[in-house]
Structure 1
Amino acid sequence: KREPVFFFGKDSMSLVTPSLADDGSAPVVFLETSLGDIEVELYCTHAPRTCKNFYNLARSGYYDGTVFHRIVKSMCVQGGDPTGTGRGGKSILEDARADGTFDCELTPKLKHTGAGILSMANRGRNTNTSQFFITLAPTPWLDGKHTIFGRVKKGMQVVRAMSEVETAQDDRPRDDVVIRHASVV
């Protein structure tokens, strides 16, 4: 196991609330991975708190050096856990619970209809932390259970390449797929 990456405490960084630009474009987060770059746009109107959490974790360096610890072929790639185990992670939101979780932002307007949907991973309702996943196909059984907060804008070929990585029985990649650096525009 690797040590968690440095986490900026809630008091050490003022959080930014991402919003639509004057031209109506959505905020963007870049994920530079060991397999290539992914650009995701955030759905701030539908999931403002979740977007604020993800955006500020990315801008703080929280995701830098973390791995995609779970790859389920034809379903999703999952990352955002600094321990790399699937059991770690915390929210950066000021009002997150003591265990580092925050509530889901579910809307019937957004569904897991295809590849490239960006959603929060959780351990059950209202247990969002820093973990997220990107879908590889329609996953309607996840609707109403996981907050959808964005989509892949560029780099879907990189996500597909991740899905081809050899995995163990527990869906963990045999070779690490690393988020080298996350940044915001």
Structure 2
Amino acid sequence: MKSVFLFAASLLAAASAWAGPKVELVTTLGTLEVELNEQAAPATVANFLRYVDDGSYEGSIFHRLIPGFVVQGGGFDSAFTPLPTYSPVVNESNNGLKNTAGSIAMARTQDPNSATRQFYINFSDNNSLNGGRNSGYTVFGQVTAGQEVLEKIANVPTGMNLTLRARDVPKQNIILERVRRLEPEVATPNDPTPQDSDTPVERDPLKP
């Protein structure tokens, strides 16, 4: 699948570029980690973390899945009942972040400022979602671990769902079992620091 190769390259390139809050998404198919860019999308990140911290993402599902495009979730429980929302968040799509493979962004209606709790993860570079000015879809983070899990998700069969009256709904529930902030790593006394040596420390780009 084309999206697999795009995601692998995007993951490596983006992981070392951001240094923001990290969130763990434990699904029934495995664990994803996302790093949020609160400098580029402060309102959107604060909005997303509000749902993370209140625990309401736990038990929600990915209800829309289009291989090579996106997987979308966070808005319904396993019975396809809509979950409560806070007030919509202002659109921040004009922040320089693009809908590239592995990025996480907010779903919304035709109203640019209508995003609440539903988010999606791009399987590939989706330039059509970027838009101009503030008419695009706000990217606010990047998957930094779990490429193999996204591949599993992309391969789940989909079909028509009469409850949602929608196509492209996974035939098996992909449930967010646990969603939590990850604590930042704290250096120990044995960790090398710039003060220990004149030689710059080279970090693994896949680690925080």
TM-score, normalising length from structure 1?
A: 0.77
In the alignment, the residues of structure 1 paired with residue 137 and residue 113 of structure 2 have an alpha-carbon distance, to the nearest angstrom, of 9
Report how far residue 87 of structure 1 moved: 6.1
User: Is contact 1:118–1:135 with CA below 8 Å preserved after alignment?
Assistant: yes
Q: Residue 66 of structure 1 contacts residue 81 of structure 1 at CA under 8 Å; is this kept in 2?
A: yes
Aligned residues: 153
Q: In the alignment, does 2:129 pair up with 1:142? A: yes
Query: What does residue range 75-114 of structure 1 map to in structure 2 within 5 Å?
Result: 75-83=69-77, 85=80, 90-91=85-86, 96=87, 101-107=88-94, 109-113=96-100
Unaligned 5+ segments in structure 2 are 1-17, 161-166, 183-208
The answer for unaligned runs of 5 or more in structure 1 is 1-23
CA–CA distance in structure 2, aligned partners of residues 117 and 83 of structure 1: 23
What secondary structure does 1:82 align onto? strand
2-structure distance, mates of 1:103, 1:153? 25
Mark the structure with the bigger radius of gyration: 2
The structure with the largest helix share of the pair is: 2
Tell me the residue number matched to 1:40.
34
Identity within the alignment, %: 33
The residue aligned with 1:162 is 153
Q: Which runs of 4+ in 1 moved over 4 A?
A: 83-89
In terms of fraction of residues, the more strand-rich structure is 2
Tell me if structure 2 keeps the 8 A contact 1:42–1:151.
Answer: yes
> What are the superposed Cα offsets for residues 79-101 of structure 1, whole Å, 9 maximum, x if unpaired?
0103465965523xxxx3xxxx2
Contact 1:81 1:88 in 2 (8 A): yes
The residue that corresponds to 1:63 in the other structure is: 57
- Cα distance 1:86–1:65, how it changes in 2: closer, same or farther (>3 A)? closer
Root-mean-square deviation over aligned CA pairs: 1.8
TM-aligned CA distance change 1:52 to 1:159, over 3 Å: same
